[in-house]
Amino acid sequence: MTSIVDSLVKSFSSFNLDIAVLLPVITLIGGTVIFLIMAVNALIAVYFERKISAFMQDRLGPMEVGIFGFKGGKKFWGGIGQTLADAIKLLVKEDILPNNADKFLMILAPFIIFTGAFLTFIGLPFAQNIVISDFNIGIFYIFAMSSIGVIGVILAGWSSNNKWSLYGSMRAAAQIISYEIPIGLSLLLVVLVAGSLHLGDIVQWQADHRWFIFHSPFTFLAFFIFYISTIAETNRTPFDIPEAESELVAGWMTEYSGFRWALFFLSEYANMLIVSIVASIVFLGGWLSPLQIFNIFPDSWLILDGPAIGLFWVLFKAVILIFIMMWFRWTFPRLRVDQLMYLCWKVFIPFALANLFLVSLWELIF
């Protein structure tokens, strides 16, 4: 598995450049790619989120705003320019800092959250060879980086000097830290079976055997524990008690406006994409075609494989998972704080621990 950074270094090596000159160039290229992915993802995801929520509530959602006069479908899928218009609006909005806020921390917080999401993308493979930098501890790195965001959340809530913000950030911290345990335990299950932290190796194991979700009843359960816990970690409904617009205005984002708020928004949707891609790589076979789940088709059918098709399969699986996240959001009411904690500590963690034990037995037996 070669990464984008590796291939860039290789293609630039013919120019005989010093590595000190080459590194900023490669960093810049990689950073631009990540930023583009995040921005485009937010644009598309917000549009579909609004549309899906509208259809589930028997509405139509945005229908009027188009791009250069093209509004999209006439019946249901119109208003394709709405998110772009909203993004432009956010960028030109006044940037408000409250008088009594801790200005330095308040300015810093959105960038910490954004950095957490941004760094995660570095180790996240989109297909076999499409990854910015290939870590041999990839899943550990992603798991670690996606936890950075909670520091920004706490900073944002504290520095705003607003009780709603502080409540929101405290809830967020409690929630994110709690739900990292079932996530970690579920991933540990996969690492235990595959014997590697490297995402390429995990997918290779699935190619050699079968998708992890079908590995055993315990990994099947682990997938749902992982998936629901990631929804809680991305602060989406029904686990959106840190934002809880009906209780806390907007939680830790209350005092933010304009570009800084846009950064929160961007990171939120980037996190959705990250957890969906991780879930699809770790449990759903990554860039493997669904046609070879049980290896029942002859090899000649496996033409739908390879880097380019792999990108499609990863995104396809991720999009389905993102759709399910949105589906969740517009189906369930928000959990109470105690229900949230009950679900994490009394349901997910015992089941994840039991899973870990039982999968070890399963591996010993089979």
Tell me if 271 sits within 8 A of 103, measured CB to CB: no
Q: How far is the CB of 270 from other proteins (least distance, A)?
A: 25
Neighbours of 123 (CB within 10 A): 22
Contacts of other proteins in 45-74 (CB under 8 A) = 52, 55-60, 63
Helix axes 138-145, 199-208, angle to 10 degrees: 130
Instruction: Find the shortest distance in angstroms from Cβ 197 to other proteins.
Output: 31
The smaller minimum CB distance to other proteins, of residues 150 and 325, is found at 325
- CA dist 37 and 146 (Å) reads 17
Q: What's the closest the beta carbon of residue 328 comes to other proteins, in angstroms?
A: 8
**CB of residue 278 to other proteins, shortest distance in Å:** 22
Phi, psi of 38 (to 5 degrees): -65, -45
The reply to whether 327 sits near other proteins by the rule CB under 8 A is yes
Q: How many residues bind other proteins (CB under 8 A)?
A: 16
Binding other proteins (rule: CB under 8 A), the pick from 331, 336, 357, 361 is: 331
Q: Hey, which residues does 299 pair with through a beta bridge?
A: none
Q: Per rule CB under 8 A, is residue 336 in the interface with other proteins?
A: no
Stretch that binds other proteins, among 84-92, 183-191, 286-294, 323-331 (CB under 8 A): 323-331
Helices vs. strands in the chain: H and E counts, helices first:
14, 0
Using CB under 8 A as the criterion, what x/- string covers residues 220-249 for binding other proteins?
A: ------------------------------
Looking at the Cβ atoms of 18 and 58, the one nearer to other proteins is 58
* 332 in contact with other proteins (CB under 8 A): yes
User: CA torsion 40→44→49→54, rounded to 10°?
Assistant: 150
CB of 143 to other proteins, least distance (A): 26
CA–CA separation, 111 and 135 (whole Å)? 24
Q: Do residues 113 and 267 make contact, with C-beta atoms less than 8 angstroms apart?
A: yes
The length of the chain in residues reads 366
For position 347 contacting other proteins by CB under 8 A, the verdict is yes
- The whole-angstrom separation of Cα 77 and Cα 51 is 8
Task: Enumerate binding residues for other proteins (CB under 8 A).
Answer: 52, 55-60, 63, 75-76, 327-328, 330-332, 347
